[in-house]
Amino acid sequence: MKLLKASEISKIVAKSDVIVEIVEARVPLELKSETIERAAKRFGKDYLLVLNKCDLVPRNICREWVEYFTSSHGIATVCVSALRSIGVKRLKRLFMAMLKGKDTLNVALFGLPKVGKSSIINALKGKDSATTSPYPGSWGYTKGITVYKITPGIYIIDTPGYIPFDVRGLEALIRSRPVELIDNPIAIASKILKLVLNYNEKSVKRVYDVFSLDPLEILTHIAVKRGWLYKKDREPNIEEAARAVIRDYLEGKIRFYSLPPTRKLSDSR
Ligand SMILES: Nc1nc2c(ncn2[C@@H]2O[C@H](COP(=O)(O)OP(=O)(O)OP(=O)(O)O)[C@@H](O)[C@H]2O)c(=O)[nH]1
Ligand SMILES: [Mg+2]
């Protein structure tokens, strides 16, 4: 699976006018990197943070995240959903305003695999030009740097997913390789379930129809319910269930969202 190399970032930033970092509105802080913002500053380029997949998060929570980044950190931030075309026209208008007085505007998109970089380009263009895919490395993921013309004068650079050195832990692990190649999927899926349960106990029940706070119990339930049993001893294949949970998490099937650090956890339940 091809990822964007750190050494390629400076070259792209140097050639661009606007640097856009894409994260998911569900877990913005787990996906945001200092690397992109710093590169934009170093080259004196405009930097914009886009919280994509806002269709998976209540509107007021998206607003709170925008407020958090804009007011507390002075970062220009917008919420969009490439899939549902929410906020896309606004984003386009923003780029058109930035184009004023120039012949061309080159906009570079960066972000971890599967945050929706190529989907945003398609939403801006109004048709499927850039290939997209649901899981890291699955057919259609972005393998190279490609430039797309959005409207006369506005060019958007799509880049392969990037795993920044300062984004570690769960998100980096599940996005840096195809789900089939993840080592120890049971430990990773257990972390996902614990994270989701911490924010919203009900969401696991909604997807898997089991109420438990024990990840292994949940994985066993999924394996039994779906008939995933080892042939030799008929024991539940919880490894298969774990990979299913990782895919569901990446696909946004498990409805959950994190909250800005300024917000109390109990407020969301
Ligand atoms: N729910 C939801 N899903 C989205 C949204 N945008 C993209 N997706 C889905 O997220 C997955 C990844 O989208 P891509 O556009 O391929 O992501 P990418 O960042 O270009 O991924 P790489 O090229 O692998 O780095 C796809 O299954 C999309 O359908 C969105 O706004 N909402
Ligand atoms: Mg892509």
Render 155-167 in DSSP notation, one character per residue: EEEE------TT-
Mutate to test the pocket of ligand 1, among 114, 120, 171 (most ligand atoms within 8 A of CB): 114
Amino acid, single-letter form, for residue 38: R
- The pLDDT score that the predictor gives to residue 122 is 98
Could you give the 3-state DSSP secondary structure of residue 23?
Answer: strand
Q: What's phi and psi for 110, nearest 5 deg? A: -130, 155
For the stretch 144-166, pLDDT in tens is 999 999 999 999 999 999 999 99
For the stretch 61-111, pLDDT in tens is 999 999 999 999 999 999 999 999 999 999 999 999 999 999 999 999 999
Give strand pairing partners of 156: 107, 148
Query: What six digits make up the tokens of 91?
Result: 């984003």
Query: Which residues are placed with Cβ below 5 angstroms of ligand 2, an ion?
Result: 117-118, 142
105 vs 18: CA distance, rounded Å:
8
Domains assigned to the chain: 6-158 (3.40.50.300), 182-268 (1.10.1580)
Contact 26, 57 (CB under 8 A): yes
Contacts of 30 (CB under 8 A, 6+ apart): 167, 169, 170, 171, 258
Question: What average pLDDT does the structure give for the chain?
Answer: 95
Q: What's phi and psi for 236, nearest 5 deg? A: -60, 135
Mean pLDDT of 255-266: 80
* Ligand 1 atom at shortest distance from the alpha carbon of 115: 19
- The pLDDT score that the predictor gives to residue 200 is 85
Contact 243, 224 (CB under 8 A): no
pLDDT > 70: percent of the chain? 98
Q: Identify which ligand lies nearest to the alpha carbon of 4.
A: 1
Distance between Cα 240 and ligand 2 center (Å): 26
Could you give the 3-state DSSP secondary structure of residue 67?
Answer: helix
Q: Which of 47, 124, 114 is nearest to 80 (CA)?
A: 124
Q: What's phi and psi for 45, nearest 5 deg? A: -105, 155
The model's confidence at residue 264, banded by pLDDT at 50, 70 and 90, is: low
**β-pair type (146-151, 154-158):** antiparallel
Could you tell me the CA-to-CA distances from 176 to 44, 48, 117, 135 in Å, in that order? Answer: 30, 24, 16, 10
Mutate to test the pocket of ligand 1, among 119, 129, 138, 146 (most ligand atoms within 8 A of CB): 119
Tell me the longest C-alpha to C-alpha distance in the chain.
71
Mutate to test the pocket of ligand 1, among 59, 124, 132 (most ligand atoms within 8 A of CB): 132
The model's confidence at residue 269, banded by pLDDT at 50, 70 and 90, is: very low
Question: Within 6 Å (CB) of ligand 1, which residues are found?
Answer: 52-53, 55-56, 81-83, 111, 113-119, 132-134, 141-142, 160-161, 252
* Ligand 1 atom at shortest distance from the alpha carbon of 131: 16
> If you ran DSSP here, which 8-state letter would residue 16 be given?
-
Q: Identify which ligand lies nearest to the alpha carbon of 20.
A: 1
For the stretch 16-62, pLDDT in tens is 999 999 999 999 999 999 999 999 999 999 999 999 999 999 999 99
The model's confidence at residue 201, banded by pLDDT at 50, 70 and 90, is: confident
